[in-house]
Amino acid sequence: MTLEETARRLGEALAGSPEFAELVRWERAYAADAVAQALVKSAQDAGAQIQELKRLGKVLDPAEAKRIAQVQANLDACKVVQQLVAAQKAYEALAQKLNGVVQAVVEEKRKKE
């Protein structure tokens, strides 16, 4: 079996994992949820606004700070967004774990040679 074939089998196994299935499930839910998408866009816009103010050496006025806090609260309360983030983290953790296994095997071989 070639290295590419081995990588393909690993990719297929990863794509068959519960973590991947959950990620796809919540990606689809997010894609179908205009409210969740609008909340994420609002949060991204707020983040960009904060960065721009920092760049300019300015501070958020209290009304804007309150609005941004509400945007964050709405985002935190959105089940679809929270589940998507959790699924992304779980999938990323699995991918990192697999990468760690590969690296450990490579290091073992390096020490033996």
Question: Tens of pLDDT along 64-98?
Answer: 999 999 999 999 999 999 999 999 999 999 999 99
- Mean of the pLDDT values across residues 30-39? 98
- Mean of the pLDDT values across residues 40-44? 97
Spatial contact of 78 and 35, defined as CB atoms under 8 Å apart: yes
Q: Please tell me the number of Cα atoms within 13 Å of 71 on its side-chain side.
A: 18
Q: So what's the pLDDT on residue 113?
A: 81
Question: Tens of pLDDT along 17-32?
Answer: 999 999 999 999 999 9
What global pTM score does this model have? 0.84
